[in-house]
Amino acid sequence: MKVTLLGTGDAPGTPVLGCNCPTCQDAQKGGKSNRLRCSILVETKKGTILLDTGPDLRQQLLEHNIKHVDGVIWTHGHYDHFTGFGEFHRVQRKVDVYGLAETLDYILEYLAFLKPRRNNVKINETFEIIGLKVTLFEVKHRPVSNPVGVIIEEDGKKVVFTGDCEREIPQKSLEMIDSPDLLIADAIVPDSDVLHIKKHMDAKDALKLAQKIKAKEVVFSHMSHFFKPHSIAAQKFPMGYDGMQFVI
């Protein structure tokens, strides 16, 4: 499978409107600090799916020449993870969408006009799409009541996407995500003890998680402008960037 990080930014994206910090200035120049909102493209020989559909989806689809998707998996109902789905309007209708019932109830109230094909998924139960085995696992992301991460498996290879999550992950989930070939980890700031971010992991938390579950490779996503410019931050952290690809 091929995994492409379409958007690696947090809810405001980078650059942040009205901000002239060094990272936002770097982003304005077109560097890797420029981060669109969350979406991940997963491709196999049998098709294409998206994990979350952030507000910048139209731009992402155009940049990567994506003309059709076989399904969308939503991790939770925050606007920066689903509102871009409206960009399918008049382009592709009746898209298969997957998520927990509560998540789909909330999102599809907003997106019902697109008439997607709803697929309720239960937590910790595996389903198949485009030749992949997909499992949603429990995480914590207050105040969302049922946020999930996503496990994707193909031919003995495993990719884990934490979605938005706090540092405390249930033990059963830790067991399920053990030993991934790639961990795509929420890491919103370098140090939440300084910036007081509680509903996301920071860089230290993400690295600890990668070590705890014995991830072969880890990359950060959902990053804010509080990181130093990408070229500097990447010397210390496994920083993801928009358009970054992995062949698993």
Q: Tokens 């002239």 — which residue?
A: 20
pLDDT the model gives residue 199: 86
pLDDT the model gives residue 194: 67
pLDDT the model gives residue 35: 98
Tens-of-pLDDT digits for all 248 residues of the chain?
A: 999 999 999 999 999 999 999 999 999 999 999 999 999 999 999 999 999 999 999 999 999 999 999 999 999 999 999 999 998 888 888 899 999 999 999 999 999 888 999 999 999 999 999 999 999 999 998 887 799 999 999 999 999 999 999 989 999 999 999 999 999 999 999 987 667 778 899 999 999 999 999 999 999 999 999 999 999 999 999 999 999 999 99
All residues at 6 or more sequence positions from 52 whose CB lies less than 8 Å from its CB, including other chains: 38, 39, 40, 72, 73, 74, 75, 81, 82, 163
Q: Give the torsion through C-alpha atoms of 123, 37, 12, 195, to 10 deg.
A: 60
For the chain, the C-alpha Rg in angstroms (whole number) is 17
CA–CA separation, 5 and 244 (whole Å): 5
Distances (CA, A) of 247 to 142, 143, 159, 163, 244: 33, 34, 11, 20, 10
